[in-house]
Amino acid sequence: MAISQQSSGSSPIGRDTVRIDGPRKVTGLAQYTSDFNFPGMLYAVPVEATIANGKLLTLDTSAAEKMPNVRAVFHRANIGEIFRSTPAPGFDRVCLERRPPFEDDVVRYYGQYIALAVADTFEAAKAAADAVRATYSKEKPNVDSRLEAGSDPDVVFTGYGPVPRLQSHRGDAEAAFTSATVKLDETYVTPAETHNPLELHSTTAMWDGQMLTLYDSTQGVVNMRSVMAQMFGLPKENVRVIAKFLGSGFGGKLYPWTHVSLAAAAARKLGKPVKLVVSRKMMFQTVGHRAHTQQRVRLGATQEGKLVSLQHDYLYHLSMIDHYHEDCGEATPFHYSVPNLRVTFGRARRNIGATADMRGPGAVPGLYATESAMNEMAERLKIDPVQFRLLNEPKIDESVNLPFSSRHYVECLNLGAEKFGWSKRNPAIGAMKRDGLTLGWGVAGAAWIAGRFAADANLQLRDDGTVRIACGTQDIGTGTYTILAQLASQKTGVPVEKIEVELGDSALPDGPISGGSLATSSVIPAVFKAADQAISSLMIVAISTPGSPFLGRKPEDLALEGGRVFVKAEGIAKGVPFSDVLRQANARLVTGAGSSEQTAFAPNPKFSMHSFGCHFVEVTWQPEIARLRVSRVVTVMDAGHILNPLTARNQIKGAVVMGIGMALFEETTYDPQNGAPINSNLADYIVTVNSDAPPIDVHFLDYPDKEINELGARGIGEIGLAGVAAAITAAVHHGTGVRVRELPVKIENLLV
């Protein structure tokens, strides 16, 4: 391993550091978005369309309006103007459902908002929403789960700009497949999945003249501000978005949904703060979901196990008018060495709510398909699946002919195999037993993007010896507060306990979305530059204040370490606390600002930047009672330098737990009659719970990737989910002999 996890000296970087916001969360002091209340605040409850395709003919709000404590029932005729937001170059103004609520009378998916009841209490608003009567002209909704490509042009417009449907190609994949000695041609299916963070989406909107303030459970306060400014025709300085604590998001909270502008429009009309909390049922309808995918993978190989051809042709569903691209081919072009490759995609429009990013978007369903195909090919070749992957390790990223900034996939596989005990695997189906249970062992690889978004930060050194670091990013539960404290501590020598971290407010310096697993890598240069600038400012105070022991020194002769200013030549023992320097000058604080430049999605990169990893999974199978359990997992991650192994392990474990859900439980089902997501509650939509979660042994290789930032840290929020389902389905096959290619694996699949 590159460097030990225990760094030298007092640096907090690379050390297990408990979350600095933990005490506030466990004592209930942390205020989540819906915990904020304001004088005169009203409650809004949307009215949901009960058809998925057709037109709204009439809306009868008269009974609802007469109910006690009801302030208004809004609809297309009385909500006031809400404009469309527009995409921006770069990464700003992202919105996955651009159509403003109530823009027209067309209903395109079940649950689309058609009216909004506002009342003094939540109960009164809910009763009023239930009392609104709608009539429709109905057409049969198309929620067909068999996907066929629609009539799209060769280049489609997506949320990421124009994307060619021939996504990647090299050599002649078809000819090489035709002449290959050993072939595989299979189709893998993943269902629509719904984000189910514990915290519901929530917005409280209030106006002060032309100033709009939104308390919103968003993974991106800065992006939300830009979108809302456009939707209400305001300069962006007039909009402020606050998100202090989130009960997670999984990508579903990255961008604004229609309830946000509804709350703001209602607050504008009524002149009072309006709170809108999306119900769990609405969470399945109006705030995004992971697209259903159908992916054909064709592999050709030599008898010795060298890949000669890879074709990945995938289809995904999307809503009637949105453009979200589920990029299942993201990792395919570079993960293995293969001279002939083709990746294409097609889209199938359905009467469903907008599709959206969900933890590891694109790559997670994509790697489920390609890694499953790798496992099946290894079996056909009678080569161990770890060995088969090692045989096809690329030297460079063959899709763009660039070196990897840092790739240690081979070491991941070798270390994982060793920790898991893979050499003891008997490849025969159902041949391994323990304590009367049949064992199944499986493996799969993982990859995820790396890079930086733009970020600004501001750092203050204060006369009480504390430090404040501020950035308009947010902590969705992953540990961002703690990471910023560690970074500020690293530069100033002030212990983490004396660092105040301010996040979750668009009034702070612009910070990145909590997305793409890029927040940590993005903020590092900004925080470090802000600290350098604040320290430079401190040194000017030190050399210029009458009576200062450093009076007349040159700034470059001085240093700040361990919270003390000292003359480098004289050593830290003769230094003084920086708080003394400030007090002597009667200065409350010095401040510094810093920025990180965006590198993600940049043109003409010099390196291919990704994280890598793998999972080894054991399942137990009891055919007598058809009980399948995931019994242990070993995960190895090559995600750059790990700044906080404690929170990093927690991210990977959480992602593996979510992967068990992807493999065995999670599936959003649409009713073919009315188009409704039918299992829209946590009783019928199954997520992994504690009793499903096995021991998960997480290892980090910890090689710093210096192309990313000065600490070499990449992200760890999403990669832990990639590959888990492929490893589990491989283990299921090894234990039971049943090859399931359509997730989730159901008990009835195994009763053969």
Residues classed as catalytic: 718
Site string for ligand MOS, 229-258 (x = CB under 6 A): ----------------------x--x----
Contact (Cβ atoms closer than 8 angstroms) between residue 666 and residue 193: yes
Which of residues 358 and 740 has its CB atom nearest to ligand MOS in the complex? 358
Which of residues 290 and 649 has its CB atom nearest to ligand MOS in the complex? 290
- Which of 479, 516, 640, 675 forms a contact with ligand MOS (CB under 6 A)? 516
Backbone angle region of 712, left / alpha / beta, with phi > 0 → left and psi within -120 to 50 → alpha: left
Contact (Cβ atoms closer than 8 angstroms) between residue 583 and residue 515: no
DSSP calls for 509-578: SB---S-TT-HHHHHHHHHHHHHHHHHHHHHHHHHHSTT-TTTT--GGGEEEETTEEEETTT-GGG-EEH
* Contact between 511 and ligand MOS per CB under 6 A: no
Least spacing, CB of residue 710 vs ligand MOS, in Å: 23
d(CA 222, CA 514): 11
* Contact between 477 and ligand MOS per CB under 6 A: no
Which of residues 354 and 581 has its CB atom nearest to ligand MOS in the complex? 354
* Contact between 718 and ligand MOS per CB under 6 A: yes
Least spacing, CB of residue 218 vs ligand MOS, in Å: 11
Closest CA to 467 of 436, 490, 447: 490
Closest CA to 387 of 414, 357, 420: 414
Which of residues 241 and 543 has its CB atom nearest to ligand MOS in the complex? 241
Contact (Cβ atoms closer than 8 angstroms) between residue 418 and residue 636: no
d(CA 723, CA 372): 9
Least spacing, CB of residue 199 vs ligand MOS, in Å: 14
Contact (Cβ atoms closer than 8 angstroms) between residue 561 and residue 572: yes
d(CA 640, CA 643): 9
Query: Which residue has the CB atom at the shortest distance from ligand MOS?
Result: 251
522-581 residues in contact with ligand MOS (CB under 6 A) are none
Least spacing, CB of residue 67 vs ligand MOS, in Å: 39
* Contact between 675 and ligand MOS per CB under 6 A: no
413-472 residues in contact with ligand MOS (CB under 6 A) are none
Binding segment for ligand MOS among 14-22, 334-342, 355-363, 658-666 (CB under 6 A)? 355-363
Contact (Cβ atoms closer than 8 angstroms) between residue 741 and residue 375: no
* Contact between 397 and ligand MOS per CB under 6 A: no
Which of residues 245 and 528 has its CB atom nearest to ligand MOS in the complex? 245
SS3 (DSSP) at 448: strand
* Contact between 366 and ligand MOS per CB under 6 A: no
Total site size for ligand MOS, rule CB under 6 A = 10
Length of the chain: 752
Pairing between strand 166-170 and 340-349? antiparallel
Which of residues 251 and 677 has its CB atom nearest to ligand MOS in the complex? 251
* Contact between 361 and ligand MOS per CB under 6 A: yes
205-234 residues in contact with ligand MOS (CB under 6 A) are 219
* Contact between 357 and ligand MOS per CB under 6 A: yes
- The DSSP symbol for 232 reads T
Least spacing, CB of residue 358 vs ligand MOS, in Å: 5
Least spacing, CB of residue 461 vs ligand MOS, in Å: 33
Which of residues 379 and 718 has its CB atom nearest to ligand MOS in the complex? 718
Which of residues 357 and 475 has its CB atom nearest to ligand MOS in the complex? 357
Number of Cβ within a 10 Å radius of residue 171: 16
Least spacing, CB of residue 249 vs ligand MOS, in Å: 6
Largest Cα–Cα distance in the chain? 87
55 contact partners, CB below 8 Å, separation of at least 6 = 105, 106, 107, 136, 137
Which of residues 101 and 251 has its CB atom nearest to ligand MOS in the complex? 251
* C-alpha distances in Å from residue 723, one per residue of 118, 367, 635, 729: 45, 6, 10, 10
d(CA 6, CA 463): 31
Contacts 24+ apart (CB under 8 A), 329-332: 329/167, 329/168, 329/362, 329/366, 330/362, 330/363, 330/366, 330/449, 331/363, 331/366, 331/367, 331/370, 331/447, 331/448, 331/610, 331/722, 332/168, 332/366, 332/370
Least spacing, CB of residue 450 vs ligand MOS, in Å: 13
* Contact between 199 and ligand MOS per CB under 6 A: no
Please report which residue ranges of 631-715 form alpha helices under DSSP H.
645-664
Binding segment for ligand MOS among 179-187, 356-364, 407-415, 564-572 (CB under 6 A)? 356-364
* Contact between 359 and ligand MOS per CB under 6 A: yes
* Contact between 515 and ligand MOS per CB under 6 A: yes
Contact (Cβ atoms closer than 8 angstroms) between residue 527 and residue 459: yes
Binding segment for ligand MOS among 93-101, 167-175, 351-359, 655-663 (CB under 6 A)? 351-359
Which of residues 61 and 517 has its CB atom nearest to ligand MOS in the complex? 517
Tokens for 20? 């600095």
Least spacing, CB of residue 476 vs ligand MOS, in Å: 8
d(CA 612, CA 447): 4
SS3 (DSSP) at 751: coil
CA Rg, the chain, in Å? Answer: 27
Backbone angle region of 430, left / alpha / beta, with phi > 0 → left and psi within -120 to 50 → alpha: left
Q: Which amino acid is at 594?
A: G
Least spacing, CB of residue 700 vs ligand MOS, in Å: 20
SS3 (DSSP) at 414: helix
* Contact between 358 and ligand MOS per CB under 6 A: yes
Binding segment for ligand MOS among 17-25, 78-86, 317-325, 352-360 (CB under 6 A)? 352-360
Least spacing, CB of residue 453 vs ligand MOS, in Å: 11
Which of residues 98 and 359 has its CB atom nearest to ligand MOS in the complex? 359
- The DSSP symbol for 404 reads B
Binding segment for ligand MOS among 112-120, 354-362, 580-588, 720-728 (CB under 6 A)? 354-362
Closest CA to 212 of 239, 236, 183: 239
Least spacing, CB of residue 590 vs ligand MOS, in Å: 35
- The DSSP symbol for 644 reads -
Site string for ligand MOS, 634-673 (x = CB under 6 A): ----------------------------------------
Least spacing, CB of residue 438 vs ligand MOS, in Å: 36
Which of residues 358 and 743 has its CB atom nearest to ligand MOS in the complex? 358
Tokens for 667? 């599936």
Which of residues 290 and 312 has its CB atom nearest to ligand MOS in the complex? 290
Binding segment for ligand MOS among 92-100, 292-300, 358-366, 528-536 (CB under 6 A)? 358-366
Contact (Cβ atoms closer than 8 angstroms) between residue 507 and residue 469: no
* Contact between 714 and ligand MOS per CB under 6 A: no
Residues in contact with ligand MOS by the rule CB under 6 A: 219, 251, 254, 357-359, 361, 515-516, 718
